[in-house]
Structure 1
Amino acid sequence: MTVIPLSPSTARFARLGAIYLPVTAAAQPVMAWLPAILARDFGLSLALVGSLYLAGQLFNSVLDPVVGALSDRTRSRFGCRRPWIAAGGVLFTGGSAMLFFPPDSIGAAWLVVALAAYYSGLSLISTPLLAWSGEVAPGYHDRTRAASTFTLIQSVALVAALGLAAIAQKLQPGDGRLQLTLFGLLVLASAVPALWLTLTTREEKASPLTPALSPVTSLSPSAALRAVFGNALLLRVLASDAAVRAGQGIRTTLLLFYVTFYLGRPEWAAGLFLFQYAFGMLAAPIWQRIGVRLGKRNAAILAEVLQALINLALVLTTPDLFWLVLLLAFAQGLTQGSGNIMLRSMVADVADKHRVDTGEERAGLYYSVFGLADKIGGALAAGIALPLIAWFGFDPKATNTPQALDGLLLVFALGPALAHAISAAVITGFSLDADQHNAIRLRLNSADDPALQPAE
């Protein structure tokens, strides 16, 4: 039987989330640098890269519900989540090695296999890990604390990766192979120790009032679909998160092009990322406090509205107004991951409500479809943004017309602004607040502890 501590420490959250260090260190380069480098240095077309990203992520996203459901039902001496995270770590590391150390004659087949291993590994890591974090942190605000700790780890990883990109740009400007090599060394050097820290996170004995996980019943595909699509609260979180990820993905995918070609400042290609994410390390503790003060729904709405306005303001930027670019990057850093923190934490609350209503433990399933929403949002970003700027006439290998550069700016600014606005609108109807969740936890405690059962 899996047990969970009543009030885990932040240090335990940090150890549990250690695997986010290599995962995030790989994610930013894969999304932001790899498409441009493959197109510029290896001769692959943007349309091909965008299509393969879209196909690969959508294909591999079908693993999320499978992994989530199976991890809910897994019973082993190592627990129900650890075996999946361990297997995912192996796939992720192998896929990352292929992506960051490609052959000179890389083709579509190599990229498909590499992306499949990479994204499959992420599925096996992220879904069980998120479900495990919800079990480790049973309290309403504990979950916000766990999510903010994970976000802080991700911010540190981003700054490390972007620092290497800046070093590569300084040493050999425009050398894509050097950038990929440095990214790959960071990911591979941190993957094994981080995976060990996550897998060896110690679990304390439960307190008398801490609920044990309920028995997991068999779940057919049709029952799984009903458990997901019949849950209006979950659907709101999923739709809001997909919109967030789409907006973040468009910005991440196009930022390198925006800085290099629209602003005409290739020397800032890595520096602007680094500038933003350095301030982003302050975002997690700030938004943790806001989430506790306002509640998760209101904090998520505020975060997404702010991000929509920040991205919308990018329409006003020009090569001569670089101070405005820096100001908006600073603001973007302070709101970085803000909506993600709240939405990720909400999934565990929704799983608690489902469990108290039905007696079924479905945290793994719910986090798997949350991961699916993440991937759909990211896939839409790469699969739509890259072909769209190509349709406007933008080509990183040619001299671009003013119209093509204006098209790049509009997609870069308006795409994320619209996505974040949609996210805010969708999550407005989320009704599960702290008081309701506290009542749910009391019912779960009472149901799981025989000493709290009413006398016959």
Structure 2
Amino acid sequence: MGKKENYSLLSRNLYGMAEFYSGGAFVIINTFFTAFLIKALGMPAALAGTIPLVGKVWDAITDPIMGNITDRTVSRFGPKRFYILVGGIISALTFVVMWVTIPAKSTGAMYAFYLFMYCLFSTGFTIISVPYNGLLPDMIDDYTIRAKFSNVRMIWSTIGSAVCGLVPTFIITDNTNPALYLYCALLFGVLFFITSMVTFAGTWEHPKPPVKSSLVESFPQAISVFKSRSFRLFIGIYLFGQCGMDIVSGMALIYADDVLNGYNNGCFIALMATLLASQLIGMLIWGPVMNKTSKRTTILIGAPMRLFATLGLLFVSKEGASLVPILILTAIIGLGNAATLTSIFSIMADMADVDELITSVRRPGIVSGMATFARKISAGMSNATIGFLLSAVGYDSVLANSKIRQSLETQRGIVYIFVFVPAILMVLLIIVGYIFPLTGKEFHVVQTEIARRKGEDPGRATDEEKQICEKVTGISYDKLWNPANTLTKGKNA
């Protein structure tokens, strides 16, 4: 914790590099895990899609506990950096074991094994991601500087997405061969470990007293985070924004293979390369725009871009169609993705301050634990939705495993899933983004009010500032800064 603060571009990259894992791992899982289960192992589509979702029940236990553990920990490295170190090792190993093939022929045994493996991975991901998501609030206090660090983090997320979306296509040349998926997992397990260690070595934390709450209190503490109006709306932004992306990445392989009939002739690679390259370019564009406007503004720009481009795919998605309009629309989706992603992770860093104003307790671990849980829920819901909807439109995993095309009716059903589910989510994202109350002005008021409550600012709040505090928190001004708002009856005071 004795590291000197440094806001240079190098420091921003060292902080953001761990997002290579967070951004990349889910691209691989969303793009290839369902295909691994269905096409390589022959598991029914509806059953395969439930594995990530059922795994979220386990996350409902581990994420709040990990958030509490992080806030309670004392370490010479800083509690969050300590768990990034430990989690970097564990999560890399658990990512690999998820792709091990067993000789079981029973569908039930196969399902139980991969559900257990997924839960192991999810636990490893929790150990690193909850502290990582809570690190920036304890590194930096300034709203704009946080946005700059978050923007670089999202650039690393996009690099991770690009590498993890494209490189596996060169390794998994036969999507019915399970050994190729494991080779791919071994390679990326090593890369995830290295990037996590770089972030551990290149970051710092402001020292703060540990939160004095028991592990039993993890769940009421986690639930109490939702007292914040801003956090509730942020979770909506997070879920709708991320689920929309997860559906696109999760359906991309099946869309390219079964609708465009182009997995083996470079169509899938072209789609992923276009999506991720435009997303990376977008990160460079939207970061400065966000800094000059607000974190909400880029959501309200990016979500409509994603919506209209996605709807446009409905008219050009069929076998033999020209790739040019599809790639143009995909590029627009990527630019929109970049705008919403840039905002989402930058807003996340500000939620701990709003929570502190409500509770008087600094709980970035608890707050990030619930945000991480929301991220996993989005991934699980997306995979389950894909599995159920594919089954509903008649997708036959036996045909897929035998490399036989799906029926024309099923192909059209795949297009409807690929277009309408993300479109609905984008409409919801626009609505929630419009309502979201926190911009730079409101954040400054929140920080000033926290300083007043701590006795560090002798000023008195104006009526306008009181109204802003109430709008942002959703709680009456006279009920703010109350330890009872943690639902632990003041034990944290």
TM-score normalised over the length of structure 1? 0.89
Per the alignment, residue 238 of structure 2 pairs with 241
Matched, 1:137 2:140: yes
State the Cα distance separating 1:224 from its structure 2 match: 1.9
C-alpha contact 1:283 1:335 (8 A) present in aligned 2: yes
Offset of residue 213 of structure 1 = 4.0
Q: Secondary structure at the match of 1:428?
A: helix
Match of 1:255? Answer: 252
Residue 357 of structure 1: how far off its partner (Å): 4.3
**CA displacement at 1:124 relative to structure 2:** 1.4
Seen in structure 2, the aligned counterparts of structure 1 residues 229 and 308 have a Cα distance that, compared at 3 Å, is same
| 2:42–2:397 contact (8 Å) kept in structure 1 | no
Q: In the alignment, is the contact (CA less than 8 A) between 2:31 and 2:253 conserved in 1? A: yes
Q: Which residue in 1 is equivalent to 2:481?
A: none
Q: Which residue of 1 aligns with 2:225?
A: 228
For residues 324-354 of structure 1, give each alpha carbon's deviation from its aligned partner in whole angstroms, at most 9, with x where no partner exists: 1111111122223422321222233232133
**Contact persistence 1:214–1:359 (CA under 8 A):** no
Alignment of 1:312 with 2:311, yes or no, is yes
Q: Does 1:73 align with 2:72?
A: yes
- Matched residues, number: 444
| Aligned counterparts of 2:407 and 2:6: Cα–Cα separation in 1 | 58
Q: Which amino acid aligns with 1:86?
A: L
SS of the aligned residue for 1:62 comes to: helix
> What is the aligned partner in structure 2 of residue 276 from structure 1?
275
Tell me how far apart the structure 2 counterparts of residues 179 and 133 of structure 1 sit (CA, whole Å): 37
Q: Give the distance between the partners of 1:58 and 1:251, measured in 2 at CA.
A: 24
Deviates more, 1:132-141 or 1:182-191: 182-191
Partner secondary structure for residue 336 of structure 1: helix
Alignment check: 8 A CA contact 1:244 1:377 kept: no
| Deviation (angstroms), 1:257 | 0.8
* SS of equivalent residue, structure 1 residue 345: helix
Question: Which residue is equivalent to 2:402?
Answer: none
Give the gaps of 5 or more residues in structure 2. Answer: 400-404, 460-493
Query: How many angstroms does 1:104 deviate by?
Result: 4.9
Question: Who is 2:447 aligned against?
Answer: 441
Stretch moving more, 329-338 or 419-428: 329-338
Which position in structure 2 is the counterpart of 1:430?
A: 436
Kindly indicate whether the alpha-carbon contact (under 8 Å) linking 1:85 and 1:129 is maintained by their aligned counterparts in 2.
yes
For 1:275 and 1:302, the matched residues in 2 are separated by: 20
Using a 3 Å threshold, how does the CA distance of structure 1 residues 215 and 165 change in structure 2: closer, same or farther?
closer
Alignment of structure 1 residues 394-409 onto 2, 5 Å: 394-398=395-399, 399-409=405-415
Shift, 1:30, TM fit: 1.4
Q: Which runs of no fewer than 5 residues in structure 1 stay unpaired?
A: 207-211
In structure 2, what is the equivalent of residue 97 of structure 1?
Answer: 96
1:170-221: CA deviation from partner (whole Å, max 9, x where unpaired): xx444543641442233122133223212222438x7xxxxx6466343735
Deviates more, 1:404-413 or 1:392-401: 392-401
Q: Which moved more, 1:273-282 or 1:435-444?
A: 435-444
Counterpart CA distance in 1 for 2:103 and 2:312 is 40
Give the C-alpha shift of residue 402 in structure 1.
1.9
Q: In 2 relative to 1, CA 313–214 (structure 1 residues): closer, same or farther, beyond 3 Å?
A: farther
Cα distance change, pair 188–373 in 1 and its aligned pair in 2 (3 A): closer
Cα distance, 1:256 vs structure 2: 0.8
Report the alpha carbon displacement of residue 14 of structure 1 after superposing the two structures with TM.
1.7
Is the Cα contact below 8 Å between 2:49 and 2:387 reproduced in 1? yes
In structure 2, relative to structure 1, the CA distance for the partners of 1:224 and 1:104 (3 Å cut) is same
After TM superposition, give the deviation of residue 245 of structure 1 in Å. 1.9
Residue pair 1:161, 1:186 contacting (<8 A) in 2 also: no
- Secondary structure of 2:43's partner? coil
Name the CA shift for 1:147/1:313 in 2 (closer, same or farther; >3 Å). Answer: same
The CA distance in 1 between the partners of 2:101 and 2:190, in whole Å, is: 18
The alignment partner of 1:335 has SS state of helix
